Structure 1
Amino acid sequence: MIDQRDAIDCLTDACGVIHSPVPSNVSPRIVCLVPSITELLFDLGLEKFLVGRTGFCIHPRDRVGAVPKVGGTKDVNLKKIRQLEPTHLIVNIDENEKPTVDQLSQFIPHVIVTHPLNPQDNLHLYRMLGAIFNVNIQAEQLCQAFQDAISNVRVDMTPKHVLYCIWKDPWMTVSEDTYIAQNLALRGWINVFPQAHAVSPKRYPQFEWDDPILANTDLIMLSTEPYSFTHQHCEELQRTLLKPVILVDGEMLSWYGSRAIQGLRYLQNLNI
């Protein structure tokens, strides 16, 4: 028997809103403004209920094209979304703008807010969407696959200090309370930018290469997203800094949802 408190927790989103399961005789109409969660909806078997997505929602590549685009994660087309008559909107605190979400909430009855901060938060994400949209069995299957994947991630014997770069001009990285940094921490890789760093106390701080905090960096990671870093960037930066620089798959290390299961396997096999 499921404890009532557990059932309520399972239906509670990142803003503390407790959602009700969709009645079995009702077909939801879902607009998702979060690329990784759009992919998750497909993997939960909810494809037929998805009526809108962003242009950055690119997975699964062979099926997502049938879902209408409604703009980007920041600049959505309000009129187009209204015309789709959605019953549910799925957003993320980091990826979507609150003023836009507030406008959408004026005509979309159910707004589900997500905010995974560490890999384990995926378990709640799977179960919350599973409970709301009545796909609990599929959600538990993903939970099991996730648990299997995370149990195989091994911590390196020698800790490494890493700088994970997400943008150039200006250069930007991640602080230790982000999903990316917590993901890297599973391998024992220490993020060099704490959130409280005096120069830039932000979750995604800008930095300069002469910042003293970078002196102890063992490795620099250039992510393929959101900035499209390439091997050429790695080679140029390595010649300049005389430090190891590698290119990493941004989707694998920053996407939550079902992609996180593949991401954990990628993380385990990443040799540095």
Structure 2
Amino acid sequence: MKLQDQLHREIHLKEIPKRIVSLVPSQTELLCDLGLQDAIVGVTKFCVHPHYIKTDASIVGGTKQIHLDKIKALNPDIILCNKEENTKEIVEACKAISEVHVSDVFTLKDSLELIKQYGAIFKKENKATIIINEIKSELKAFKVFIKEKSSLNVVYFIWKNPWMVAGNHTFINYLLQLNKFKNVYGNKRRYPEIKLSKLRADKKTEVVLLSSEPFPFKKMHKKELQEFYPNAIIILVDGELFSWYGSRLTKAFKYFKSLHLNLQKNNQPL
């Protein structure tokens, strides 16, 4: 069986992979939703969905630092990576152990393509189609909901010390656009670092979103940022629903709708 991943690399498989190592949390969840949890032998320490997966599978490191000896000992048939989450060096090292599939997701189209590819690789086409159709249905309903909403100037924070935000060419930025959130840092690439001291008082930003991951922002950080964004509503948001591009997207659009309804109803921090 000859297939391509999202970097158009050829993957050669003699049979359906029975032993999977996943180095990306959102992809681990997708595998389980495809019914492949029993085939997953290795995951990262950040693979938290489903909650039991780190008990059932071996932890082989993080997304940027892995234990190659542990992966090799698991004798995987395939290792699943992502261009953004994992380094090029990790991908190259894993290629010496088994076939490697690399995802590359920046849009919803990319995400649906990935789900379809997994369906083909693991012979789970029917379940993949169900997930894809559910995401499309949820998106269609959300587009109707968001159509008449006004655009808002938004900053999306992902890290503290240093302060970092989501810029363009990220899946987060793509979902911000779907929400009619105009990214204040949309002219910056990837995840730029910003100096709060240079902001003084930003009166143009209307909403500041503090992600739950990778940095776990809390209520105290809202107070810390308020002086720099005196006119903005500062909200703690579920980072998984803004950045996970697998089957979690089936839940994302209902969450976005509730986010907008709360903004509209209360006009105050959630």
Report the CA distance shift for 1:82/1:244 in structure 2 as closer, same or farther (over 3 A). Answer: same
Q: Distance in 1 between matches of 2:200 and 2:112?
A: 38
The correspondence of residues 117-196 of structure 1 with structure 2, limited to 5 A, is 117-153=106-142, 154-155=145-146, 156-195=148-187
Amino acid at match of 1:72: G
Q: Distance in 1 between matches of 2:168 and 2:202?
A: 15
1:46 aligned residue: 36
Compute the displacement of 1:194 (Å): 2.5
Compute the displacement of 1:231 (Å): 1.5
Compute the displacement of 1:125 (Å): 1.1
Q: Distance in 2 between matches of 1:233 and 1:212?
A: 17
Q: Distance in 1 between matches of 2:14 and 2:47?
A: 24
SS state at 1:164 partner:
strand
1:247 aligned residue: 236
Whether the aligned pair in 1 keeps the contact of 2:47 and 2:53 (CA below 8 Å) is no
Q: Distance in 1 between matches of 2:14 and 2:244?
A: 26
Amino acid at match of 1:255: W
1:5 aligned residue: none
Aligned residues: 256
* Structure 2 gap ranges (5+): 264-270
Report the CA distance shift for 1:212/1:193 in structure 2 as closer, same or farther (over 3 A). Answer: farther
2:4 aligned residue: 12
1:208 aligned residue: 195
2:251 aligned residue: 262
Give yes or no for the alignment of 1:78 onto 2:68. Answer: yes
Q: 1:219 aligns with which of 196, 207, 213?
A: 207
Q: Report which stretch shifted further, 212-221 or 35-44.
A: 212-221
Give the percent of matched residue pairs that are identical in Structure 1 and Structure 2.
Answer: 35
Report the CA distance shift for 1:22/1:254 in structure 2 as closer, same or farther (over 3 A). Answer: farther
1:3 aligned residue: none
1:229 aligned residue: 217
SS state at 2:58 partner:
coil
Q: Distance in 2 between matches of 1:94 and 1:166?
A: 15
Whether the aligned pair in 1 keeps the contact of 2:106 and 2:170 (CA below 8 Å) is yes
The answer to which structure has the higher strand fraction is 2
SS state at 2:11 partner:
coil
Q: Distance in 1 between matches of 2:29 and 2:14?
A: 20
Q: Report which stretch shifted further, 206-215 or 113-122.
A: 206-215
Using structure 1 for the length normalisation, give the TM-score.
0.88
Q: 1:59 aligns with which of 17, 32, 49?
A: 49
Whether the aligned pair in 1 keeps the contact of 2:202 and 2:229 (CA below 8 Å) is no
Amino acid at match of 2:233: P
Give yes or no for the alignment of 1:90 onto 2:80. Answer: yes
Q: Distance in 1 between matches of 2:85 and 2:201?
A: 27
Whether the aligned pair in 1 keeps the contact of 2:17 and 2:122 (CA below 8 Å) is no
* Structure 1 gap ranges (5+): 1-7
SS state at 1:194 partner:
coil
Alignment root-mean-square deviation, CA:
2.1
Report the CA distance shift for 1:20/1:130 in structure 2 as closer, same or farther (over 3 A). Answer: farther
Q: Report which stretch shifted further, 242-251 or 56-65.
A: 56-65
